[in-house]
Structure 1
Amino acid sequence: MKHIFLIIIYLSLVIPAPVQADNVIHWYHADFPPSSIMCGELKGKGHENYLEKKLQNALPEYKHAEHIANYGRILKQLAETNGCCVTMMKTQDREKFIEFSEPVMLYISNGVITLKSRLNEFKPFIDEQGFISIAALFNTSPMRMGISKGRRYGGMVDKIVDNNKNSKKLIVHYKRDLLETLAKNIQAERTIDYAIGFPHELQWLVSQSFVEDKFIFIPIRELPEYVLSYVGCSKNKWGKRIIGKVNHIINGQYEDEYKKKYQQYLPEKLIGVHEKYSTQVFPLKSN
């Protein structure tokens, strides 16, 4: 027994200890083009990919690992293990287990995405300014809304999703991509009548010929015109330390290259709107 004990002590001295998890940042992101482009000729060239690489290069003291998952899986990982996600919407529920950075990104808000040919069906819910009431659309029409599992859209949309989980008018998509499959379903006129998504998502799908140029984006009345996005890490001492470093790296700036990569896929009429709000939220100019 004594010999076994001595062997154990010896092995503990000569065998190097494994790399501690604290020295590794697991970066989680969804298949979310053009924010995060995970395949094809433009792989790794989305604005989210750009920010992630910027942070990785600015944190050479850590090893970096990248993982692809839907937002439901990402949230589960951040709640159970150490990890980070470059662009996340902040909600009260998420703040319970996620440490958020200062704002890093400004998005034009989500809207209703449907076929141009079906616009007349939606007109009763659209006001004179061109905004649609998502509450009236969902509650009083038989049309079915498509969403991605684990994704948060903001305000009234999230409230509708949370309060109608068993509704047949709510179709939940579980795959890694966040909008492409939903849009293709709408295009084929199968089980979904409209989806919720960002205008740059739709513009990307059309520009890459993943879907035909048959869609229309309608802003939602109950949502603000823009939403802020944040870096999120697991809510513990490790996560607080990483977020502190991220805030120091970003330094309250909305980097020009980061912004341009996003605006590249905005409809032209929304670029000026994005510039206006970006100036208000990020008064510091990039170095």
Structure 2
Amino acid sequence: MKGVSRVTLCLVASWVFLLATYVASEETEASQGAILWAVNNAQPFYILEGENQGQGFGDRIQQLIIKALPQYEHTIQRIPLRRVVHSMEQGSPLCFSTWIYGTRPDISISSAPYLHYHEHGLVMLTSTYDRLGRPEQLSLSRLLQDSDLALGQPLGRGYGTRLDPILDQYEQSAPIIRSSGPSTESIFKMLQFGRVLYTIEYPYTMRYYEQALNLQDQLEFVPIKENRGNIVLGSVACTRSEWGRRVIEDINQAIRSIRTTETHREILRDWLVYPESEGSYWQFYESNVLTVPQ
């Protein structure tokens, strides 16, 4: 019986070892040959439903990158932004195509940039803007110290290296309300109905929701004092890991091949470039996006 037990134990141990090796190799092979692309319901970055489904600038640029990487198996999955951040913190292999370049280097690796954003500002109802005296700019730090002015912020949303430290500083004391539904749309609806009094956004996001929620002539975009002149670049980010480093190398090659094409420029022109300032946008793009080494 003892001899049989030893044989049995050896067989079981061998089987467990082989199974573990097989599973590990399968996971490694899958992660090396596949990219999970996270998208979230935040128009106009990603449009996940309706007649314009898949036509957000993040959707379209992501498709260009996917087309340039046929060696990978690509999966697109709807994941709330806070879960994207949490997954990166846990080391789970995924990529997100509309990341602010160079942010959260503790959990992510940024690709070469492929666009530049107009800097974030404060978006509020005209009535709130009138109440504040219609200033040319506002200090985010000062607003966060006013207990009567609630800020709306999508869960997991970051705003870059200038604004995020200010938000972190007042995290425990400022009246900040975070959305629990479809992130950006929920914030604009809260703004519309007075649950929050301002949010931080890009000007073209404000323009999108002016149309989507019938808020024409009811919203104001106010520059943020601490953010004036800030250069905000858009990139892909993948989880900080050996897998992420390998994938970003290939994504960089894809981005370098597409970001000077007319197809890429057309996407930016549709969403981010204002006709009255198109020349200056492309001049800035060539000086501050195409020159970033990767």
Scaled by the length of structure 2, the TM-score of the pair is: 0.81
Instruction: Summarize the Cα distance change of 1:230–1:88 in structure 2 as closer, same or farther, 3 Å threshold.
Output: same
CA distance in 1, matches of 2:185, 2:31: 35
Q: Give the Å deviation of 1:175.
A: 2.8
What's the C-alpha RMSD, in Å, of the aligned pairs?
A: 2.9
Confirm whether residue 210 of structure 1 aligns to residue 189 of structure 2. no
Alignment of 1:131-170 (within 5 A): 131-140=137-146, 142-167=148-173, 169-170=175-176
CA distance in 2, matches of 1:218, 1:260: 28
Instruction: Summarize the Cα distance change of 1:259–1:135 in structure 2 as closer, same or farther, 3 Å threshold.
Output: farther
Alignment of 1:89-238 (within 5 A): 89-91=100-102, 94-123=104-133, 126=135, 130-140=136-146, 142-167=148-173, 169-177=175-183, 179-189=184-194, 191-207=195-211, 209-213=212-216, 214-223=218-227, 224-238=229-243
Instruction: Summarize the Cα distance change of 1:103–1:119 in structure 2 as closer, same or farther, 3 Å threshold.
Output: same
The question of whether the paired residues in 1 share the 8 Å contact of 2:40 and 2:79 is answered with yes
SS at structure 1 position matched to 2:64: helix
Output the amino acid matched with 1:66: I
CA distance in 2, matches of 1:270, 1:211: 26
CA distance in 1, matches of 2:65, 2:175: 40
Q: Give the Å deviation of 1:44.
A: 0.7
**Amino-acid identity (%):** 22
CA distance in 1, matches of 2:174, 2:152: 11
Q: Give the Å deviation of 1:181.
A: 1.2
Confirm whether residue 257 of structure 1 aligns to residue 268 of structure 2. no
CA distance in 2, matches of 1:143, 1:272: 38
Instruction: Summarize the Cα distance change of 1:122–1:280 in structure 2 as closer, same or farther, 3 Å threshold.
Output: farther
CA distance in 1, matches of 2:59, 2:95: 13
Instruction: Summarize the Cα distance change of 1:89–1:282 in structure 2 as closer, same or farther, 3 Å threshold.
Output: closer
Q: Give the Å deviation of 1:95.
A: 0.7
Worse-superposed segment, 265-274 or 151-160: 265-274
The question of whether the paired residues in 1 share the 8 Å contact of 2:38 and 2:79 is answered with yes
Q: Give the Å deviation of 1:272.
A: 5.3
Q: Give the Å deviation of 1:100.
A: 1.3
What residue is the counterpart of 1:41 in the other structure?
51
- The size of the alignment, in residue pairs, is 273
What residue is the counterpart of 1:279 in the other structure?
286
The question of whether the paired residues in 2 share the 8 Å contact of 1:106 and 1:229 is answered with yes
What residue is the counterpart of 1:50 in the other structure?
60
CA distance in 2, matches of 1:71, 1:270: 31
CA distance in 2, matches of 1:140, 1:3: 71
Alignment of 1:13-24 (within 5 A): 18=26, 20-24=30-34
Instruction: Summarize the Cα distance change of 1:263–1:216 in structure 2 as closer, same or farther, 3 Å threshold.
Output: farther
Scaled by the length of structure 1, the TM-score of the pair is: 0.82
Output the amino acid matched with 1:261: I
Q: CA-to-partner distance for each residue in 1:218-248, whole Å, 9 max, x for gaps?
A: 1212113441111111122211111111111
Q: CA-to-partner distance for each residue in 1:30-84, whole Å, 9 max, x for gaps?
A: 2121121111111111111111111111111111111222222111122321111
Instruction: Summarize the Cα distance change of 1:91–1:103 in structure 2 as closer, same or farther, 3 Å threshold.
Output: closer
Output the amino acid matched with 1:280: S
The question of whether the paired residues in 1 share the 8 Å contact of 2:69 and 2:254 is answered with no
The question of whether the paired residues in 1 share the 8 Å contact of 2:58 and 2:98 is answered with yes
The question of whether the paired residues in 1 share the 8 Å contact of 2:204 and 2:271 is answered with yes
Q: Give the Å deviation of 1:123.
A: 2.7
Instruction: Summarize the Cα distance change of 1:100–1:40 in structure 2 as closer, same or farther, 3 Å threshold.
Output: same
Q: CA-to-partner distance for each residue in 1:116-154, whole Å, 9 max, x for gaps?
A: 233222237x3xxx3222222222462111111111113
**Gaps in structure 2 of 5+ consecutive residues:** none
Q: Give the Å deviation of 1:8.
A: 5.7
The question of whether the paired residues in 1 share the 8 Å contact of 2:145 and 2:174 is answered with no
What residue is the counterpart of 2:95 in the other structure?
84
Instruction: Summarize the Cα distance change of 1:63–1:45 in structure 2 as closer, same or farther, 3 Å threshold.
Output: same
